Amino acid sequence: MNILYSHLFHIQLAHDYYRGSLARGVDIFPSHETARLMKNGRILLRNIPSGVVALYRTEDDEITPEIPLGGDVRFSFFIGLENPLNFLNITDLDITPENRFQAGKIPYFTNEPSNPSDDNLHPETLSFSFMDGFVDKLFNYRLQHEDDSVTLKIFNPSGNQVSHGKDAEGIEYPLDYIIQKNEDTGDFRLQIDLRGKPSGKYRILIRNVGDTEDIEEKNLWIDSQPKGKNVFGIIELIYPESSNILYGTKEYFSLSFRRKNTVWQYFVVNKNGRIDLEAFDLNISDLGNQPDTPYGTYVFQRVGDEPHESIRINDMDTVIFRSQTPIPYFEEPKLNLQLERLPDSDPVIIHLPNPSHSGLVKEIEGQLASEIYVFI
């Protein structure tokens, strides 16, 4: 008897911080429900250098699934990180300046079933948004609001409204449930019990009692937390029954992370007094780049006087320079940033250090900025 498998889908993981753009230190593993679904459907998930592939067991024709999954199918996978701090330091997870990644947000990636791709050179890019949290199926919901009562609505992963639980007699609460303010605490508190319902993305909507105004809306991933693993993000692949694409040609998806870009700000500290800052000016010049790097040529301008009129590092004269445009993080350093003494451009340091990719990033005048301290 031959045991045959065919490709179901391939998730390509990319990160342009790395040469070759292959993401590193990123782990993809199925949720409990998806692991059970894949086992029942005889689907294997395998890690490969470019990401992960799913294979399904077939009949002898290598096309027909041995155990087909019927109906609408949703595969959910969790994203784990080997070194979360390092990953967050080098990765730009902001969607827009107004929609930034922050603690408590869960990156969520999903496909568009109407736009599949069977071309590995042009995979479907998974869309990116944020979930407002990851909670178990039994959890407590709290809300601060001036009204004395509000209306709760909950929508399941398919978009259908569901009850938030059952009463003592096992009868489901109304879909539009009125919550009264807790007189002791002055806020709204309610235990939500979605046990027995499928895991996935739920929308929690709070409206006024008249049902004319939204008060709060949250998108929560509701599932059991995987033991022993921290979840950084979630991938959900959706295959509606009507699309008829689950066992068609192999699908290709792309999950691409962007490197961080920051303004570089140098603090040049005249520690040994080797430069007479009254007689000579300092300058930073970009003398070009090594091949096959993402760097451009950057202009640095001095911030304030020389030395700076108010900023002194360790009570020593300090000159500050700032790049006029952001510079990308990359695993290979930016070379040929030269600290020089004017007017003859005499080199003081031929290759200035790059910012630490594990250091703190500040915001200066609305831009992310990395600080580098140089002692001369």
The boundaries of the domain holding residue 315 are 261-375
Plot region of 137 (φ>0 → left; ψ -120 to 50 → alpha; else → beta): alpha
User: What value does the mean pLDDT take over residues 55-74?
Assistant: 92
Helix spans in 117-268 (H): none
- Please report, for the domain that includes residue 148, its CATH number: 2.60.40
**SS3 label, residue 40:** helix
Looking at every residue in the chain, the average pLDDT score rounds to 93
Residues 23 and 100 in one domain: yes
pLDDT band at 195 (very low <50, low <70, confident <90, very high): very high
Tens-place pLDDT, residues 202-252: 999 999 999 999 999 999 999 987 776 789 999 999 999 877 889 988 999
Residues 24 and 99 in one domain: yes
**SS3 label, residue 337:** strand
Residues 118 and 9 in one domain: yes
pLDDT band at 138 (very low <50, low <70, confident <90, very high): very high
Choosing from 174, 202, 222, the residue where a domain stops is 222
Q: Is residue 142 classed exposed, middle or buried when 0-12, 13-18 and 19+ CB atoms within 10 A define those classes?
A: exposed
β-pair partners for 205 = 153, 217
Residues 160 and 17 in one domain: no
What pLDDT does residue 228 have? 67
Tens-place pLDDT, residues 252-289: 999 999 999 999 999 999 998 878 888 889 999 999 99
What pLDDT does residue 226 have? 79
How many domains does the chain contain in total?
3
Residues 293 and 342 in one domain: yes
pLDDT band at 71 (very low <50, low <70, confident <90, very high): confident
> Which two structure tokens, joined as six digits, stand for 80?
């784990």
Residues 192 and 58 in one domain: no
What pLDDT does residue 1 have? 60
Residues 123 and 11 in one domain: yes
Q: How far apart are CA 267 and CA 248, in angstroms?
A: 58
CB 268 within 8 A of CB 376: yes
Residues 125 and 249 in one domain: yes
Q: Residue 97 pLDDT more than 90? A: no
Residues 127 and 231 in one domain: yes
Residues 210 and 336 in one domain: no
Please give the model's pTM, rounded to 2 decimal places. 0.90
User: What value does the mean pLDDT take over residues 51-59?
Assistant: 95
Residues 62 and 88 in one domain: yes
What pLDDT does residue 327 have? 97
Residues 233 and 218 in one domain: no
